[in-house]
A and B are shown apart, each in its own frame.
Chain A
Amino acid sequence: MKDKLKTVVDYLKSKGVDYGDIRYVRIETESIRVTDLTVDTLTKDIDQGFGIRVIVDGAWGFASSSICTAAEMRKIANRAINIGKASALTKKEDVRLAEVEPQIGSYATPFVTDPFAVRLKPKINLLLKINKILTKNSKIKVAESSLAFFKTHQVFCSTEGAEIEQDILQSGAGYTATAVEGSDVQKRSYPNSHGGDFGTGGFEFVEQMNLLDHAERVREEAVALLAAPPLPAGRRDIIIGPSQLALQVHESCGHPTELDRVLGTEISLAGGSFMQLEKLNKLQYGSKIVNIVADATSPNGLGTFGYDDEGVPAARDFIIRDGLFVGYLTSRETAPVIGRKSNGTMRADGWNRIPLIRMTNINLEPGDVSYDDLLADTEGGLLFETNKSWSIDDQRLNFMFGVEAAWEIRGGGKGTMYKNPLYTGITPEFWNSCDAICNKEHWHVWGVANCGKGEPMQTARVAHGTSPSRFRNIEVGVMQ
């Protein structure tokens, strides 16, 4: 395949493009979902194709096709060039790319067990066993468990001389019990909602979740929520559990630091960002203990790779250091705007999408508190666990999250359980109220497998390292 791609690169050079690259991508997917005791999803999908990106007359063109013949590649190369010429009709200035040493290399996800080599029967049986436990209470109306595996092979070549091959393996699993009584619906999930937890790695990533060990607790907590009171409205000190905090980082730090959003090119769909250029190195985004890095090298991170989709090597870069806003997620086109080089966050959802600035693993660095000490030090506060709903404004300031369950913190442990808990705030005020972050022992990189951005819509698999953390005087309840 690489030779075919290099032929296209030669062709692009012969046509005099300012820049060109071609990416071939083949993604194999296996999805299994068991609802109650019925396997309602069991699919295998193979998706392959190539995308050609060019700068012509100073403007971008991109075209893609699933037909991987030499003739089609030449046809699509011409189409990309014509599209670039059409884009140039409205350009204000020529696109310029930050320099990057053309990479010749390869990367493969380290793994122990290829999930595609594990037979279907044991995988189905694992999910059926989970659901048998979850459905052992008549108030559980729906038990849903799932496994998903993605194997991606991609080859990237550019007119600058880059030649990169990558093999990325991603695995994930999770389950949810839904309890229903009258018009009350309550859910508990493990290890996270939204299909569970995901990471780069093999079937061992799933095995390490010890899925069966938590099913009974999840079932009983879902049922207990039916009888729990709703969370009263007010202002409280709250500890946010790590999987919910991952989504908080995602929405309120990951997205607003995407430099394409800041420069306005995502406004048509997801919006802009309050973290404008003049705030770089000036905005006290969070308290002094808040450190957030974009780290495409985190072991097992769902956003871990060797090179981004414009050939920049995976990087680790501070976004927030000691609470100060110090960096963006950047691309070769946007980085020069802030006088920097790309930190390698251009990613595409397959061969048929143009790379956009996407999160990698955006990690809240661990602090120095043990979880037990944090609970003991937060008497009368609230513990919020597992995401249920999410919403944030188009500049990423006003957010509201709902979680599956909250508990009053009493005597260093969980007291009264509350249903339908919501909390809301304004991003910098919220992060400046953070006064404790748990240590490395409680830190985990949570996979978020469904991050949407762009037009046509692209879904990225990203991740966030977090540990339980405390925030002071937060507005909770809202609906009560």
Chain B
Amino acid sequence: MIGRERLLETLNKVVASSKADHTEAVFIGSESGLTRFANNYIHQNVAETNSKTFFRVALGGKIGVAATNAFSVTDLRRALKNAMQIARNQQENPYYLGPPTAADYPDLPTFDEQTAKFSPRQRAGKLKTIFKRAATKQMNLAGSFSTGSGELAVVNTAGVNAYQPFTSAAAAAIAMTDTSSGFGQGMSRKVGEVDIRSIGAKAIKRAHQCRNPKDIDPGEYEVVLEPVAVATLLEWLNYIGFGSKSFQEETSFLSGRIGEKITGEQLTIYDDATDPTAAPFPFDFEGTPKRKVELITDGVAKGVTYDTMSAARENKKSTGNALTPNDAGEGGLAFNLFVAGGDQTLDELIGGVENGLLVTRFHYINGFIDTPNGVLTGMTRDGLVRIKNGKLRGGVKNLRFTDSMLRVFSDIRGLTAERELVSTWWDALGCITAPAMRVGSFRFTGKTDY
């Protein structure tokens, strides 16, 4: 960790030397560690100290971006010079209206000392206990346990001078028998809230439940999706539909449909980095304050996420969802997604299903088949369980689904009150908070033999 004072002082010094009309510097640094395990032992154990500083300069509407991962003033000045050279060769960008101005940011709990100091030995110690438990059940565990700290700073010539330290911790475990597997996961900004023992126990329980899975034919089934399954669907819907780029290019399932009812009214999805119960953060990579952004409310399409340039295309304000300057062409993206919960328990959701399936999670989803209709395909993984007469009745072999999520979410029959924080590929920046969900019909189109 470089620290607020030195970081902002260095960035301001370099930014002040710029001859551009506007200059922005974005610094993201981290010290992270990840312990990976399989077959009940640690097989990879890594640590990284890294940082990246991006400079975005504007000469009129000509923008140049350059980056470096060295943090000496000399290297930073060289990167700034590269950005200037690029800007001189650029075309005018009509949507660049300058960087955001200074703003107040919410005070959010993003940093935890214990997480920042958590050692590889401590991670190994926690994991050892679940390896032992798995071994006594004749199971193998595979997974990962990561902890890390970082700091993000944004400085620009319009007065933004933002700094925030953060930590994150995440763990996932897959328990395996000869014929089945189960899954558990957890994430938080505080390592103390990632309960390795219960993550392992959940995976072991599901693997046990699914031993000797039976064959089942593809087709339409009523399903209960556990929170991780809901989150993995949402991860893809976010990518193909909740950002400004897909919306403006008219490939999103929200394009041209704002104000329309597109799913059942039980579905509400929003982005909110200011909610301290998940993985909060006060500002985006342009220094715009974070706020709650409604995406789908009671089944009605409400909007998408923007950065400053994509917002300017629609004469709107940024929603605080900018990416790093090198990815500015991608527009806004949500990193703190929430699916509103309901009032039921998981047992109640399962209890309401006469003949259906419980999905633990999905694998290798792809959403490029038909984006305007939100069609996704993917496989079930680590525990597909038969539900009969409201009871779990053993594992079945994995199935491929191919379906429109707008159709699936048009018949939501229940949501749990309890929601789970699910780690995603952007987990240092946020997460997905999702309940379990019961839906009336889910189309499975293929099967595999395990």
Interface residues of chain A, those whose CB is within 8 Å of chain B, are 31, 33, 35, 37-49, 59-68, 76, 79-80, 82-87, 89-92, 119-121, 124, 128, 141-142, 178, 180, 183-185, 263-265, 267-269, 271, 352-354, 388-395, 397-398, 400, 402, 420, 422, 424, 426, 455-457, 478-479
Contact (Cβ within 8 A) A43 B326: yes
For residue B366, CB closer than 8 A to chain A, the reply is yes
When the two chains form the complex, which single residue of B176, B370, B400 contacts A393, counting CB atoms closer than 8 Å? B400
Neighbouring A residues of B44 by C-beta, 8 Å: 60, 62, 265, 354, 455
Identify which of A85, A121, A457 contacts B425 (C-beta below 8 A).
Answer: A457
Contact B368 A86 (CB under 8 A): no
Bound form: Cα–Cα A263–B41 in Å: 13
Known A47-B69, A393-B363, A400-B400; contact A40-B329, beta-carbon cutoff 8 A: yes
Check B86 for interface membership: any CB of A closer than 8 A: yes
* A60 B38 Cβ-Cβ under 8 A: no
For A263, list chain B residues within 8 Å (CB).
38-39
By a CB distance below 8 angstroms, the chain B residues around A87 are 35, 42-43, 45, 120, 124
Complex CA–CA separation, A285 to B39 (angstroms): 27
Q: What is the size category of the interface that chain B forms with chain A?
A: 35 or more
Of B40, B83, B329, which one neighbours A33 at CB under 8 angstroms?
B329
Task: Tell yes or no: B136 within 8 A of A by CB.
Answer: no
Q: Scan residues 316-357 of chain B and give those whose CB is less than 8 A from a CB of chain A.
A: 325-329
Q: How far is the CB of B399 from chain A (nearest CB, A)?
A: 9
Q: Which residues of B contact A33 (CB under 8 A)?
A: 329
- Looking at the complex, which one of B49, B67, B83, B131 makes contact with A76 (CB distance below 8 Å)? B49
Cα–Cα distance between A275 and B277 once the two chains are bound (Å): 43
Smallest beta-carbon distance A456→chain B, Å: 6
Q: Is the CB of B131 within 8 A of A90?
A: yes
Q: Is the CB of B51 within 8 A of A391?
A: no
- Complex: A464 Cα to B167 Cα, angstroms: 40
A-B contact count (CB 8 A): 265
B372 within 8 A of A: yes
**Which of the 9-residue segments B8-16, B284-292, B440-448 touches chain A?**
B440-448
Identify which of B154-162, B220-228, B264-272, B373-381 touches chain A: B373-381
The one of A46, A63, A124 that contacts B68, using a Cβ cutoff of 8 Å: A46
- Write the residues of chain B forming the contact surface with A, with a CB cutoff of 8 angstroms: 32-52, 63-71, 79, 82-83, 86, 89-91, 93-95, 119-121, 123-125, 127-128, 131, 140, 142-144, 146, 172-174, 176, 249-251, 325-329, 363-373, 375, 377-379, 381, 398, 400, 402, 425, 445-450
Most buried by A among B173, B379, B381: B379
Please name all residues of chain B whose beta carbon is closer than 8 Å to the beta carbon of A40 when the two chains form the complex.
93, 328-329
B259 to chain A, nearest CB (A): 16
By the criterion CB–CB under 8 Å, are B365 and A178 in contact?
A: no
A-B contact pairs, 16 of them (CB 8 A): A37-B91, A43-B86, A63-B47, A90-B128, A141-B249, A180-B249, A183-B372, A263-B39, A268-B142, A353-B46, A391-B400, A392-B364, A393-B400, A394-B364, A394-B379, A400-B400
* CA–CA, A200 and B69, complex, Å: 24
Which residues of A sit under 8 angstroms from B37, Cβ to Cβ?
90, 268
Write the nearest CB–CB distance from A152 to chain B, whole angstroms. Answer: 14
Contact across chains for B398 and A402 when beta carbons are under 8 A apart:
no
In the bound complex, what is the Cα–Cα distance between A402 and B370 (angstroms)?
10
- Inter-subunit contact B377/A45 (CB<8 Å): no
Interface centre among B41, B95, B328, B373 (most CB of A within 10 A): B41
Closest 9 CB pairs of A and B: A40-B329, A86-B120, A398-B448, A267-B142, A120-B89, A183-B372, A65-B49, A389-B368, A63-B47
